[in-house]
Amino acid sequence: MAKEKPGRLEVQSFADHHVITQPNPLRKVLLRVPESDLDDPVARAEKALAGLSGEFKNWMTIEADRLSAAHAAILHEGFTDDNREELFRAAHDIKGDAATFGFASAGVAAESLCRIIEHAPELDKVPANLIAHHINAIQAIVRERTKLDTNVMAPALSRQLRGIADEFLAYANRDRPEHLEAILAPSIIPAE
């Protein structure tokens, strides 16, 4: 498919912009099938994803350990551009992956940590415990998942951390309206 030459471009020119239309180069991959067709690619993919789930706990542990390592580097060296970036990336990856891996509450705590890193005016002045508690919570959620109380404790813990972080960020950014607006803006992902 990719080797097929693109169709002829049709260009309409206006005073300050051009509208460029090309025949859909991917139209040949679109197949008309009868309504009775029972093949369900989404269900097939969900099943394949479920087949990977045996690895999720291990993957999550690796991600949580990467986060702890980034934090340990900060405790050792203080904040630098590199270790700040690594802490953010590690937290951001958990934010994106955790729900898929079955650790939604770890994702909520990681998102809260990302917000602190992104919006705190000076990271050196963020209470050290606030960052440490986020990382400890993520580690606890990942490692203690099999305990019976996790389903109740984990979401409550993450929500509480998010509340404290938001309160801190709202205060720290009280004179920075652009950050305040971003902090208070709703997520495009529906709440759980």
Partner 1 sequence: MFRIDFNKLRFLICDDNPHMRRILRTLLHSFGAREAYEAEDGATALEMYSHYVPDIVITDWSMPIFDGLELAQMIRQPESKGNPYAPIIMLTGHSEKRRVTVARDAGVTEFLAKPISAKGLYQRILNVVANPRPFIKTKTYFGPDRRRNTNNAYIGPERRVGGEVEVMQQPSLLDKARSSV
C-alpha to C-alpha distance for 165 and 172, rounded to whole angstroms: 10
Q: Which is nearer to partner 1, 59 or 168 (CB)?
A: 59
Which position among 17, 76, 171, 177 is part of the footprint of partner 1 (CB under 8 A)?
17
The yes or no reply on residue 24 touching partner 1 (CB under 8 A) is yes
In terms of Cβ atoms closer than 10 Å to its own Cβ (0-12, 13-18, 19+), residue 104 is middle
The yes or no reply on residue 81 touching partner 1 (CB under 8 A) is no
Q: Residue 5: which H helix or E strand, with range?
A: none
Tokens of 106: 């770890």
The yes or no reply on residue 164 touching partner 1 (CB under 8 A) is no
Least Å distance, CB 169 to partner 1, is 14
C-alpha to C-alpha distance for 107 and 191, rounded to whole angstroms: 12
Position of tokens 């992104």? 118
The yes or no reply on residue 141 touching partner 1 (CB under 8 A) is no
Q: Residue 20: which H helix or E strand, with range?
A: strand 18-21
The yes or no reply on residue 186 touching partner 1 (CB under 8 A) is yes
In terms of Cβ atoms closer than 10 Å to its own Cβ (0-12, 13-18, 19+), residue 2 is exposed
> Are 138 and 87 a contacting pair, CB within 8 Å?
no
Least Å distance, CB 131 to partner 1, is 19
The yes or no reply on residue 74 touching partner 1 (CB under 8 A) is no
Least Å distance, CB 159 to partner 1, is 17
Residue 74, CB-side half-sphere exposure with 13 Å CA sphere = 24
Which position among 148, 152, 185, 191 is part of the footprint of partner 1 (CB under 8 A)?
185
First to last CA, the chain: 40
Which residues, 113 to 132, sit near partner 1 by CB under 8 A? 114
The yes or no reply on residue 52 touching partner 1 (CB under 8 A) is yes
- Contacts with partner 1 by CB under 8 A lie at 1-3, 6, 14-22, 24-26, 28-35, 37, 39, 41-42, 44-49, 51-52, 59, 62-63, 88-89, 92-93, 95-101, 104, 107, 111, 114, 182, 185-189
